[in-house]
Amino acid sequence: MNDGVQHGPALNFRDFVDELLAEGDAVGIDVPVDSDLEAAAITRRVYETHGPAPLFNQVIGAAPGHRLLGAPAGMSRLGNGYGRIARHFGLPRESRPREIVDHLIHAMGTAPIPPREVRSGPVLENTSEGAAVDLRDFGSPLLHMQDGGRYFGTYGMHVVRSPDGTWTSWSISRLMVRDHRSLVGPAMPAQHLGMIHQQWSAMGEATPWAFVLGAPPAAIAAAGMPLAEGVSEDGYVGALAGVPVDVVRTPGRGIPVPANSEIVVEGVIDPHLTDAEGPMGEYHGYQFDDSSPKPVFHVESISHRTQPILPFCVAGMPPEENHTIWGTMISAVATELLRGHGLPVSFAWCTYEAATCWLAVSFDIERLAGMHLSESELAHRVADVLFESHVGWLVPKVLLVGADIDVTDANALLWALATRYRPGTEYVFDDAPGIPLVPYLSDADIAAGRGGKSVMSLLQPEQISHGRTRGIPAQFTTSYPISLQNQVRSRWADYGFRP
């Protein structure tokens, strides 16, 4: 073992924040801001204006020096808008969705690099245990006035390990403050957190558990990636970064957590006790009224950096982190999964604006025509691959389009939906399993854990049968000679327009 601090925005959250501040994609707020709705209201407006991430340096309701960061992966008005997302992976700010996803897919095909255990790290600078534990120090924000409580964990990751020690899961699931030493939140059976919790509960034991806030940005992104059951995210993050992630043991239960994290709590998930959690404004953009019983997480110790930063997401209308990070990671897994099953997929994109309810899949239509599939056969092939996978469990609706449509452009996708969808070309799969949080599901669907799934074809008949597209878009890049396009661009300011 050794000591040392890993640097760079992908592996050190503090470096990530400093870079955003230096690049003008975050703003330090030095006036007092209340953790009771005010910080969340500012952050919600940041999402809706694509403003810089707000770093709250004086938080009313938190211990002195404890800080909050809103919108850590919000869309930005700087550059192409994806800068904050790209910096999670140490990529240049100007990286576009396909470049980001290609980077993620490349790491999926690379041998995992297991984490490296070190003696100490910044997260252990301050530790409290037992009766000294007080979650109230962190100023967990009240996010919406209709919420059932304050949320400590909206941009953090759970760390649990299977009883046999073969599977370490880093996963994202929210946590609401129950009291100063406990939290409450979901651990659904189809989530990896829920699977491992069930393994411990079946033995009659509490689940050893840690929760990490301000994790290395690449780690928090990977924790939201629908990797296969049994795959440890820590090794994937090593492959993604090209070096092992430094981890330290928590002071009580010895759970390995990233050494560069801002905040780590550890304890157990109660095998029996539940309490009311929620309601909470959700990733799908709705606020409902009801709470529901969820497992209780008992906190036994807290470790944190000096002047810790608690990152948070204000879930709701897109885009926010549930869409930008979760959607990007879903896109990488879906693209690789469909290609791996022999389908000529150009790109699969979980459309941010559709609140993670659409996966748009574009095809190389020449190769598609060579497969001699009917529309129905193609839809069923896609459904067979996706809807039995973890990524398909998350996304209820799949849209099939030709690669002439840029599926990362919501306007282009909306145009294709309006002009290429022919009524009757939607295929419904009511027996497919799915996440119960989708807002249009019936009570029967939720009870069964199935339903509400479809594949919709936006492919023209000629694209499927002959690899040809009927018509071209009438737009600047297709309706004028390239020489004239270049002339217009170069003279744009001469015409009187702002560059």
Residues involved in catalysis: 282
Asked whether residue 191 is marked as a ligand-binding residue, the answer is yes
Q: At 163, which amino acid appears?
A: P
Nearest to 303 by CA among 244, 246, 259: 259
223 is in an annotated binding site: yes
Upper half-sphere CA count for residue 170 (Cβ side, 13 Å): 29
Q: Give dist(CA 351, CA 416) in Å, integer.
A: 14
Distance of alpha carbon 258 from alpha carbon 465, whole angstroms: 51
* Amino acid letter, residue 101: V
Annotated binding-site residue? 167: no
Please say whether the beta carbons of 384 and 351 come within 8 A: no
With contact defined as beta carbons under 8 Å apart, do 100 and 76 qualify?
no
Residue type, 110: T
The tokens describing 87, both together, are 């910096």
Does 170 belong to an annotated binding site? yes
Tell whether residue 369 is among the known ligand binding residues.
Answer: no
Is 272 labelled as part of a ligand binding site?
no
| 390 annotated ligand-binding residue | yes
CA distance between the termini of the chain: 54
- Classified as helix, coil or strand, 95 is coil
CA distance 242 to 110: 10
Instruction: Report the interhelical angle of 97-108 vs 321-340 (nearest 10°).
Output: 60
Detail the residues annotated as belonging to a binding site for K(+): 170, 222-223, 225, 233
